Chain A
Amino acid sequence: MPVFQAYCGRQPPRFVNQAELEVAKLLDFYGIRWEYEPRSFVLETDDEGRVIEAAKPDFYLPDQDLYVEITTMKQSLVTRKNRKIRKLRERYPDVKVKLFYRRDIERLAEKYGLSLAS
C-alpha cells in the first residue's frame, strides 16, 4: 500500500478494488485531500427505526465538500447503484455526491495512465 500524503482519514483505507486505489493515488498526486468511506448515510429504516438500507460513498473530498462513489460495474448493472445515489440525494439534498462509472474510470485511466488491472 502506498504512503498517502493527502489522506486525512483516521483508519488506513481498505480499498475493495484496483480502481479505488488508483483514484486514491490520483487524488494524492494532485494534493487533493481525501477520506475513504468516512460516513454512512441512512436511506431507509423499518418501523422500529432499524437501518435497512444505507449508502457509504467511497471517497470524501473535504475541500470540495464532495462525496465520490466509484463503480466498476458494467453500465447495464448499475441501475441499483444509480437508485441508491438518487435516494441519497433526495434524503440529503445538501450533500454533494458524484458517481463515477466504469466508463469515467476508463477515461481517467486513459488520460492519466492508471493501472486498472486487479
Chain B
Amino acid sequence: MHLTSADIQARVGELGARITEDYAGKEPLLVGVLRASYVFLADLSRAVPIPHRLDLVSLAGYGRALGGHAGVRIMKDLDAPIAGRDVVIVDLVVDTGLTLNYLLTALRLRDPASLAVCSLLDRPYRRLVEDLPLRYVGFTVPDEFFVGYGFDLDGLYRGLPDIHSLNK
C-alpha cells in the first residue's frame, strides 16, 4: 500500500483548510477532472466549509480520442460560464502536465477571475509543461502504477479507499 485512507484524509483536510483560507469571502468553483478525480473531489469539497460550487469536465486524451481527432478535446464541458469566477481545477495526479495545460489554456479564454490547480498527487520529474499554477499538492509520489481512490486498472478498483502501488 502506498497511501492509506488515513494518510489521504489527513492531507485532504490540510488542502481543504488552505483552500478555505485562500478563498475566504469568495465563492470558488471546484472543477473535477473526470474520471479519476471524482473521489478526491468529493472528499475535498467536504473539507472546504466555505460556500463553493462544483462542476466537472472530461477530456478525450491521447489514446482515447475517437473518430480520428488530431487533437485533445473536451468531451464534457462545464455546465456554467466561469467569467469572473475563482476556479480551482481538482485533479488526482499531475505528471507530464499535457492534459492540464490544455484545460488551463481553454479555461483562461473564458476570463475567470483566477485559476489554480489542486492535485492530490504530483510527479514533477515527468513534467513536459512547467508553468502550471499548481498551488495545492497533496503528495509527491514515485513513478509507480497506482490503483484505488480514483485510480483504476482496466476500469476497476477506483472505489478502494487506499492508494495501492502495483507492479504491472
Contacts and interface: CB of A to CB of B under 8 A. Distances in A.
B130 A112 contact: no
Contacts of B71: 5, 28-31
Range for the number of chain B residues in contact with chain A: 20 to 34
A40 B61 CA distance: 33
A11 B115 CA distance: 37
A18 to B, nearest CB: 15
A103 B142 CA distance: 12
Interface in B122-145: 126-131, 143, 145
Interface residues of A, number: 24
A31 B72 contact: yes
B98 interface: yes
B132 to A, nearest CB: 11
A99 to B, nearest CB: 10
B149 to A, nearest CB: 18
Nearest to A59: B128
* Among B62, B98, B105, B129: residue with most chain A CB under 10 A: B62
Interface of B: 61-65, 70-72, 95-96, 98-99, 101-102, 105, 126-131, 143, 145, 168
The 5 closest A-B CB pairs, nearest first, are: A113-B63, A30-B98, A112-B62, A112-B63, A29-B62
